[in-house]
Amino acid sequence: MKALPPLSALACALALAACSFTGPAARPGLDLPAQWNEASPASADAALPAADWWRGFASPRLDALIADAFTGSPDLRAQGERVIQAELALRSTRAPLLPGLSLSGNSGWSRSNAGDRGDNVVSERKSSALNLSSSYELDLWGRVAASIDSGEASLAASRHDYDSARLSLAANVATTWFQYLAYIERLKIARENLAIAERVLKVVEARHRNGAASALDLSRQQTTVLNQRAQIEPLEVQARQIRGALDILRGHPPGADALTQADTTSITALAIPAVAPGLPSELLLRRPDIASAEARLAAAAADIGAARAELFPRISLSAGGGLASEFLLSLADPSSSLSLSAALVQTIFDGGRLRALVDSARSRERELLETYRKTILTALKEVEDALSSITRDARQEEAQTQILAEAERSLRLAELRYREGADDLLTVLDAQRTRFSVQDQLAQLRLTRLTDTVNLYKAMGGGWGSGIGD
């Protein structure tokens, strides 16, 4: 059998050895629960989150605010630029798949004079040249392919991060809007209670003029009126601050567009949709942050392959051709040249630098594996916490509604008995304080229930698996 030429034998050996060192990404060993511990029976008939989950609150103003935030949010725009940067980085990584071409040209003139050392001969030289060269590195060990895999996974992670930012923005706009409505409701309650306190004050003043009420009773009710008035201004300030935070989320200066009465609605008029939590195993496919952590783990596995390929020799091919002429700025009557070459470069000693890069890439993969595992555990906890809060706060709001009905009845009876002289003013004052406190707590419980629902939507991925961010 005829022996192969040395170069052909080397090429065959390299082709047989060529392979990619990228292995499959590691997976965290987790035993996911079969069911949620805090799922209520009512959630069994509910629907999974949709891509536009915020429409379940039946607030057209909220829909408009979130749409405005998607357009103008600085944070979301910045995250979008990170996706573009990842796309450009991937394009740069793919560039070595094609040969590199370069074109160069020159033209020059030179003159020399031998002077006293010779016959005073003057020599003159003119030249022009045009060269085209090409180079290409053979990716025998899959280094470029592994880098591309890493870039594609990093791009996927950036896109998932954008989806996470979009989900967080929608949730923040919703909760901030609900907080604003809660302060508006609390302001309304405070003004109503101020009106009640002023009405009782008129009764006390009339009784005091007729000698049926003491100066102490009059002073006590005047103090109640002043306290009610003092509680209004802090609520107004907090409402303006929350409104400013909502403007910032949407990319507007604080107070740039003042709300009218038609823009606001009572927080009690908002619907509280029921949300189905699905199965814990489904959560892995519904949350963009989990998908991002998984993509980064895949990128780390590809980086290991690229680092291992650096241990092997690099083989590059190059070709070049050119034209040269003995004229200035002209290629008339040119001479031509053509060259072909192959080069092999192997690192013999680098003080362990390349081995350290491989070990570093492996350590990075182990780090991201733990990050991935923690992301899953955190997601499971967030869903459990949201389900628990929804169930508890719904019961508390129902109980608080019953307490409010009794507090209003007690205040009506106390006022009536005070007018008739059957009870003293302290009974009325106590009934006033109770009613105001119960009303205020009920408004805050309503806000808590709405926030709980938003948190569950966010913990479930906000319908990301249904197309959000597509």
- Output the domain CATH number for residue 441: 1.20.1600.10
Calculated CA dihedral for residues 142, 144, 147, 149, nearest 10 degrees:
-70
Q: Is residue 343 part of a domain?
A: no
Secondary element (H or E) of residue 129: strand 122-138
The pLDDT score that the predictor gives to residue 22 is 62
Q: Is residue 14 part of a domain?
A: no
Question: Rounded to whole angstroms, what are the CA distances from 185 to 207, 242, 255?
Answer: 33, 14, 20
The pLDDT score that the predictor gives to residue 335 is 86
Using CA atoms, how far apart are residues 414 and 416, in angstroms rounded to an integer? 5
Spans of the chain, pLDDT less than 70: 1-26, 39-45, 114-121, 256-264, 466-470
Using CA atoms, how far apart are residues 184 and 357, in angstroms rounded to an integer? 59
* 236 CB-near residues (< 8 Å, 6+ apart): 187
Alpha helices by DSSP H, listed for 107-214, are 143-209
Q: Is residue 114 part of a domain?
A: no
Q: Which of 5, 149, 167 is nearest to 76 (CA)?
A: 167
Residues in the chain: 470
The answer to whether 421 and 213 have CB atoms below 8 angstroms apart is no
Enclosing domain of residue 95: 20-101+140-312+353-466
Using CA atoms, how far apart are residues 81 and 84, in angstroms rounded to an integer? 5
Buried-exposed string 56-85: b where 16+ CB fall within 10 A, e elsewhere:
bbebeebeebbebbeeebebbeebbeebee
Q: Is residue 4 part of a domain?
A: no
Question: Rounded to whole angstroms, what are the CA distances from 314 to 134, 146, 305?
Answer: 17, 15, 15
Secondary element (H or E) of residue 122: strand 122-138
292: which 2 tokens? Answer: 């991002």
Q: Is residue 340 part of a domain?
A: no
Using CA atoms, how far apart are residues 94 and 101, in angstroms rounded to an integer? 15
The answer to whether 343 and 313 have CB atoms below 8 angstroms apart is no
Q: At what angle do helices 215-230 and 143-209 cross, to 10 degrees?
A: 160
The answer to whether 174 and 57 have CB atoms below 8 angstroms apart is yes
Q: Is residue 380 part of a domain?
A: yes
Q: Is residue 419 part of a domain?
A: yes
Q: Which residues pair with 137 in a beta bridge?
A: 316
The pLDDT score that the predictor gives to residue 3 is 44
Count of structural domains, the chain: 1
Using CA atoms, how far apart are residues 297 and 299, in angstroms rounded to an integer? 5
Q: Which of 393, 382, 450 is nearest to 171 (CA)?
A: 450
Q: Which residues pair with 109 in a beta bridge?
A: 126
Cα torsion 72, 73, 78, 84: sign: negative
Q: Is residue 135 part of a domain?
A: no
Cβ of 90: how many Cβ atoms within 10 Å? 18
Cβ of 436: how many Cβ atoms within 10 Å? 23
Using CA atoms, how far apart are residues 453 and 55, in angstroms rounded to an integer? 12
